[in-house]
Chain A
Amino acid sequence: MKKLICALLAAVLLLPVCALAAEEVNIFNWEDYIDESVLEQFEQETGIKVNYMRFTENEDMIISVESNPGKFDVVFPSEYMVERMINRGELAEINFDNIPNFANIRDDLKNPSYDPGNAHSVPYMWGTLGILYNTKLVDEADVQTWGVLWNEKYAGQVLMMDSLRDTMGLALLMVNPENSMNCTDYAQLRAAADLLIMQKQSGMVKSYGLDEFKDKMVAGEGALAVVYSGDAEYAIELNEDLAYVVPREGSNIWVDNAVIPATARNKENAEKFIDFLCRPEIAAANVQEIGYCCVNVPAMEILGEEYQSSSVMNPSEDVISRCEYYHDLDETWLSIYTTLYSEVLSAKVNN
């Protein structure tokens, strides 16, 4: 009798878990990175309950995923983090039979070097790194090269990004345009750091920062700023004197992807959700909401003429061919990058 009661109790306790497990999907996405109304649409169409959670940095995200196995079904890492998660065996292979809408993704973003054959990832949003400049203060001809950030004409008016990979990466291209932004040659890295220290000491840089740049540029607080294309688009919409360019030496192209952790409990629901995101109307709604570049070809038609003609939102093939992805640096090289960059941040400005 006791055993029966125990078994019954266990069954009662397990029931809701099973019931929920069959009908939910746990999403872990960046802060402000989706049009939330599409989540409701997904719930209504499929009857799958969406549990939506947010993170602000790749590094936070991977720790949450590692320390809570089974908690997340779809997460959105950037390209280098996809690579790290694949190397650590943390991602499930995606069954593309369940994602027919993958065909809508831009061809130039398919089969990326960070995840050959897209075995583990589906692109969600993308963009470039470049220079946002004020056309009233800066000559368009000058800004076609990263060298403009060292051009004495604009001394004290440059807003540099306080970001290890981006800042070291563009300096590597300044040392030699043939360099990769993932360079692992100490002499080149040393030269890049020296170039950044020289730039700082000669008073070129007004300030180092990150998120505040778009607002500063809108307010006319600087002539040139290193920004991501999504922020550039936001700023240009608010101030028509601003323009964005990807310098000729090349730059970084970043892609945030939808992936399924190997520990996910609702893999099929996750694939349904990813397929849903690849639908043109949904992709267009998300791009409209958050203002990053669109990965979805039919969605671009929905977004209209203005979007297609914007060089910020729709980079030309020429720009894409110049850009490269960041790859995940191993700990040894990451610490070398960090040490050199720390020297840049600590350098004193000669007044």
Chain B
Amino acid sequence: MTDLQLPAWAGWAMGLGLLLFIVLVAISVRRNHGIKRSIFAAPYSLWMIIFTILPCILIAYYALTDANGRFTFDNFSSFWDSNHIMRENLRAVAGDEMAATVARGSVNVDTLVYSLWMAFLCTAVSLVLGYPAALFMADRKMKLGATLVVLFIIPMWMNFLLRTIAWMSLLEDNGLINAFLQWIGVGKAQLMYNQEAVLLGMVYNFLPFMVFPIYTSLSKMDPKLAEAAQDLGCNDFRTLYKVTMPLSLPGVISGITMVFMPSVTTFFIPRVLGGGNTRMFGDLIESTFKTAGNWNLGSALSLIMMILILISLSILRKADPNGEGGGIV
């Protein structure tokens, strides 16, 4: 990694942040008429200021400046036209005529659109797979439910990088699945290095984030409501459709957010299971920082993604105003 070259005022900003923190603590101590309660919140708010608020300010600063620290919107032009910097550079070294041959580059926009599409697919598949699983787990008549909860949690004890790499040894040409396919006489199939493998990896990693919020809201539901519906003549399907599903909506919305957000920002999975054949926005941001060494453009790309996520969060927030699905939205 390259070292962090902070702008000159970063030290001041950090000092100011610390001051702000002390003032906030003082105010909350006064409000709560004592030091006891607010003291517990102090480590967390300090953490938030140093590791969330300040980095956000820095990202915004980098996104709106050029390499020399001057204010500019150039990084956003570069997002829209990925050839922007190259054209300007060519103008300098090869003249206007050569620069004019460079058309608008759509690499950044296309990659973002592709990431949103993959995130949508991942969320949809997770919902279709996750909802029945949550229903099953929350059903009090099923003794297996509790076991299933544990089975969902156990893989999460392992690091997601390891879990993703483990898929490689399953999907490889000479991997376990292909060995089995060959043994039963079907023959080898190319299972890895394509979009489907990436989607599989994403769903596998993010599915628990869909299942658990739905599970929580389903198990909080009063079972008498379903019984009442059946007493009043609903069959099983209508009970599910008219009673259970609407009541579990907050959990569904929370699940959708929890899956959609990490899906848009996915990186590493496309490189391992997609073999670099599919590039997502997270990988693009990483290579803009690391390979291209362009911190300003990288920050602008991050900022655009953060704004998109904020917008989608606020839309979802409208659907679950009371935060019943765990208040994650």
Which A residues have a C-beta under 8 Å from some C-beta of B?
59-60, 63, 67, 156, 162, 164, 184, 186-187, 200, 205-209, 219-221, 332-333, 335-336, 338-340, 342-343, 345-346, 348-349, 351
Indicate if the CB atoms of A221 and B275 lie closer than 8 Å.
no
Indicate if the CB atoms of A340 and B3 lie closer than 8 Å.
no
**Tier of interface size on chain B:** 35 or more
Q: Is B111 an interface residue (CB 8 A)?
A: yes
Indicate if the CB atoms of A342 and B292 lie closer than 8 Å.
yes
Give the residues in chain A near B92, CB-CB below 8 Å.
Answer: 332
Interface residues of B in 146-171 (CB under 8 A from A): none
| Choice from B83, B174, B276, B293 contacting A220 with Cβ under 8 Å | B174
A-B pairs with lowest CB-CB distance, top 7: A207-B275, A208-B276, A339-B86, A338-B292, A332-B89, A346-B107, A207-B193
Which B residues have a C-beta under 8 Å from some C-beta of A?
1-3, 82-83, 85-86, 89-90, 92-94, 98, 101, 105, 107, 110-111, 114, 172-174, 190, 192-195, 271, 274-279, 284, 287, 291-294
Q: Given the complex of chains A and B, what is the CA–CA distance between A340 and B279 in angstroms?
A: 15
Indicate if the CB atoms of A339 and B82 lie closer than 8 Å.
yes
Indicate if the CB atoms of B85 and A339 lie closer than 8 Å.
yes
Give the residues in chain B near A207, CB-CB below 8 Å.
Answer: 192-193, 274-277
Given A205-B277, A333-B93, A338-B291, A59–B2 Cβ distance below 8 Å? Answer: yes
Q: Given the complex of chains A and B, what is the CA–CA distance between A7 and B244 in angstroms?
A: 83
Indicate if the CB atoms of B86 and A335 lie closer than 8 Å.
yes
B188 to chain A, nearest CB (A): 11
Q: List 21 A-B contacts (CB under 8 A).
A: A63-B2, A63-B3, A162-B276, A184-B93, A187-B98, A205-B277, A207-B274, A207-B275, A207-B277, A208-B275, A208-B277, A209-B271, A221-B173, A221-B174, A336-B86, A336-B89, A339-B82, A339-B105, A343-B105, A351-B194, A351-B195
Q: Given the complex of chains A and B, what is the CA–CA distance between A184 and B94 in angstroms?
A: 10
Indicate if the CB atoms of A209 and B93 lie closer than 8 Å.
no
Give the residues in chain A near B193, CB-CB below 8 Å.
Answer: 206-207
| Choice from B172, B194, B284 contacting A221 with Cβ under 8 Å | B172
Give the residues in chain A near B3, CB-CB below 8 Å.
Answer: 63, 67
Other A-B pairs, 11, CB within 8 Å; known A207-B277, A209-B271, A219-B172:
A59-B2, A162-B276, A187-B98, A207-B192, A207-B193, A208-B275, A221-B174, A335-B85, A339-B105, A342-B107, A342-B284
